[in-house]
Amino acid sequence: MEDAMKVFKEFFELPFEKKSHLYNTHDENVKCKLYTSSSNYENEEIHYWRDCLIHDCTPLKESFDLWPQNPPRYREVVGEYLSQVGKLGSRILDLISEGLGLESDFFAHGYKEDFFFTVNHYPPCPDPSLTLGLPKHCDPNVITLLLQDIVPGLQVCVDNEWQLVQPCPNAFVVNMGHQMQVISNGKLKGAEHRVVTNAEKSRTTASYFVVPSKDCILEPAKALTKKDLPLYKQFRYAEFMETYKALNTQEPENLLEPYKIKKEVI
Ligand SMILES: O=C(O)CCC(=O)C(=O)O
Ligand SMILES: [Fe+2]
């Protein structure tokens, strides 16, 4: 993971001419892109202080040729990194299913079918009081494995207060996404988080999002709704993602609102 972080930093340190061809936010067919703030820069109300590299990763071996050619080690190091992080993600999901009392291969049924990968770079910000690196959000997927640099910036919302997640060397931050909240019937809450900037140092992070298949049907695990009532109804992952994209600027908790089962008032 040290090597991967080194390569991510080297990529963002490249002179602009070596990466300018990757700035292309409009063409759906471009499978490796760099953008500033978000992929919807032109239409967003607020811009954020980050650059983001995103490239297709699945199937892993077949997507190598789409990745950055510079730094020259990028493909080899990141290929190995993603394959190892994928295994770690599966192991963590096995442990979560054990902890929740679900069958051991519960997440193998479409919940970890895919993954999505982004590398974030937050340059020093002259006035951190004016903007964020990323706004408050909850990841839309199942879990996210975040590789943090030694520079702090990630904050998590606990009891309505923002707390800094201190970087811990050689460790990943594992964020619960919206889908984990649904599957666990609210036992594991989707983590609301954001990124603050700082004036002195740049910060680089890499997010590995474990993603269900588009057709995966999400609902509270049956084993958890024998005693407790289900809090959410069934929906397709692709359907949720449409809501997520359309309502992205709302409070994270509101995004699950359409899928909540309302208690009847008698
Ligand atoms: O860069 C970070 O610390 C967090 C990134 C993040 O939340 C995301 O990629 O969804
Ligand atoms: Fe996130």
The string of pLDDT tens digits covering residues 49-96 is 999 999 988 888 888 899 999 999 999 999 999 999 999 999 999 999
Nearest to 180 by CA among 220, 238, 133: 220
| Cα distance between residue 196 and residue 122, in whole Å | 9
Contacts of range 236-245, beta carbons closer than 8 Å, 24 or more positions apart: 237/179, 237/211, 237/212, 237/213, 238/214, 240/140, 240/178, 240/179, 241/140, 241/214, 244/140, 244/178
Q: What is the pLDDT of residue 212?
A: 96
* Cα–ligand 2 centroid distance for 193 (angstroms): 6
Task: Label residue 29 exposed, middle or buried (CB < 10 Å: 0-12, 13-18, 19+).
Answer: exposed
Give the C-alpha distances (Å, rounded to integers) separating 83 from 76, 87, 195, 204: 11, 7, 26, 20
pLDDT at 2: 94
Q: What is the pLDDT of residue 265?
A: 64
Give this prediction's pTM.
0.94
Closest CA to 207 of 134, 131, 119, 266: 119
How far away, in angstroms, is 175 Cα from ligand 1 center? 9
Question: What atom in ligand 1 is closest to the CA of residue 193?
Answer: 7
pLDDT, position 94? 96
Give residue 25's pLDDT.
65
Which atom of ligand 1 is nearest the CA belonging to 148? 3
How many Å apart are CA 225 and CA 193, to the nearest integer? Answer: 28
Whether 141 is in the pocket of ligand 1, judged by its Cβ within 6 Å, is no
How far is ligand 2, taken at its centre, from the CA of residue 256, in Å? 16
| Residue 193 Cβ contacting ligand 1 at under 6 Å | yes
Atom 3 (ligand 1): residue with closest C-alpha? 154
Strands (E), the chain: 32-36, 51-55, 114-122, 134-137, 143-148, 154-158, 161-164, 172-176, 193-195, 203-211, 217-218, 235-236
Q: Which CATH code fits 2-259? A: 2.60.120.330
Ligand 1 pocket member 54 (CB < 6 A): no
* 88 CA distance to ligand 2 middle (Å): 18
DSSP class of 181: H
Q: Give φ, ψ of 122 to 5 degrees.
A: -115, 105
Whole-angstrom Cα distance, residue 221 to residue 17?
A: 50
pLDDT in the model for residue 229 = 95
How far is ligand 1, taken at its centre, from the CA of residue 226, in Å? Answer: 35
CA dihedral 217, 26, 122, 212 (to 10 degrees): 10
φ and ψ at residue 88, rounded to 5 degrees: -60, -40
Which atom of ligand 1 is the closest one to the Cα of 154? 3
Q: Cα–Cα distance between 80 and 59 in angstroms, integer?
A: 13
pLDDT tens-digit series, residues 9-18 = 999 999 999 9
- Between the alpha carbon of residue 266 and those of residues 26, 82, 156, the distances in Å are 51, 52, 37
- Token pair listed for 232: 């959410």
Model pLDDT, residue 37: 84
Under 8 Å between Cβ of 210 and 175: no
Q: What residue ranges of the chain have pLDDT lower than 70?
A: 25, 248-249, 264-266
> How many Cβ atoms are within 10 Å of 94's Cβ, its own excluded?
16
pLDDT of residue 56: 87
What is the tens place of the pLDDT at every residue in 198-207? 999 999 999 9
**Closest residue (by CA) to atom 10 of ligand 1?**
139
